């Protein structure tokens, strides 16, 4: 299978060309944000306040970094469970978010929002945080440093490997995988 190389920010055209099961390598800027940051982002949207970064075409990585070793921008950088962001993801997609990276299943509401808003969900390999960190070339906290590992950070990535799990066409790699190997009773 050929790896699709994509660059952020994502456009609708790029997202429409991605299908569940596609291997990708992402280059560009990706934003790190988790639960607490998502809650604050949605509160800012609801209040009509500016966000710390432009959501248009953005990709958010659900990741909790470990401290950087000397000479490196970040420590281990593995994905965290995406379901914790499901309450917030549809609002962010309606305001321009195009991609999310994490691990685990997404809710029906989030999957429908991906179809409605032309967005995509990528899985990064859990347990491979040290290897994934090698694809991150810069890391700058841009909002809410008091949140520690949950602060919003601007990451620069080069050929960051991921797999499309949920596409904007309604494809779901997890469902397709289970169906492929299900045994008939």
How is residue 117 written in tokens? 């808003």
CA–CA dist 56, 73 (Å, integer):
25
> Within a domain: residue 76?
yes
**Environment class of 67 (CB within 10 Å of its CB; exposed 0-12, middle 13-18, buried 19+):** exposed
Does residue 53 contact residue 153 with C-beta atoms inside 8 Å? no
Rounded to an integer, the average pLDDT of 158-185 is: 88
pLDDT in tens, 101-140: 999 999 999 999 999 999 999 999 888 899 999 999 999 9
pTM of the entire predicted model: 0.95
With bands split at pLDDT 50, 70 and 90, how would you rate the model's confidence at 185?
low
pLDDT band at 182; cut points 50, 70, 90: confident
Q: Find the CATH number of the domain harbouring 69.
A: 3.20.130.10
Does 162 map to a domain? no
Assess if residue 134 is contained within a domain: yes
| Helix ranges restricted to H, 96-166 | 108-117, 129-133
pLDDT band, residue 183 (cuts 50/70/90): low
Tokens representing 185 are: 């009773």
**Residue 124 is part of which domain span?**
26-157+167-181
DSSP code of 79? B
Q: Indicate the pLDDT class of residue 179, thresholds 50, 70 and 90.
A: confident
pLDDT recorded at residue 14: 98
The share of the chain scoring above pLDDT 90, in percent, equals: 85
> In the chain, how many domains are there?
1
**Are 152 and 99 within 8 A, CB to CB?**
no
**Is residue 11 included in any domain, yes or no?**
no
């Amino acid at each position: 299978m050929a790896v699709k190389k994509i660059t952020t920010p994502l456009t609708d055209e790029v997202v429409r060309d991605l299908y569940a099961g596609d291997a990708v390598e992402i280059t560009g800027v990706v934003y790190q944000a988790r639960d607490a940051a998502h809650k604050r982002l949605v509160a800012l949207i609801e209040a009509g306040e500016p966000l710390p970064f432009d959501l248009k075409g953005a990709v958010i990585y659900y990741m909790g970094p470990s401290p950087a070793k000397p000479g490196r921008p970040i420590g281990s950088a593995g994905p965290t469970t995406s379901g914790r962001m499901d309450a917030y993801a549809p609002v962010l997609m309606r305001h321009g978010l195009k991609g999310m990276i994490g691990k685990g299943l997404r809710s029906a509401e989030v999957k429908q929002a991906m179809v409605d808003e032309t967005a995509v969900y990528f899985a990064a390999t859990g347990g491979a945080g040290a290897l994934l960190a090698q694809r991150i070339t810069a890391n700058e906290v841009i909002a809410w440093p008091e949140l520690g590992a949950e602060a919003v950070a601007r990451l620069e990535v080069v050929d960051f490997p991921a797999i499309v799990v949920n596409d904007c066409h309604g494809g779901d790699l997890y469902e397709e995988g289970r169906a492929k190997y299900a045994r008939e009773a």
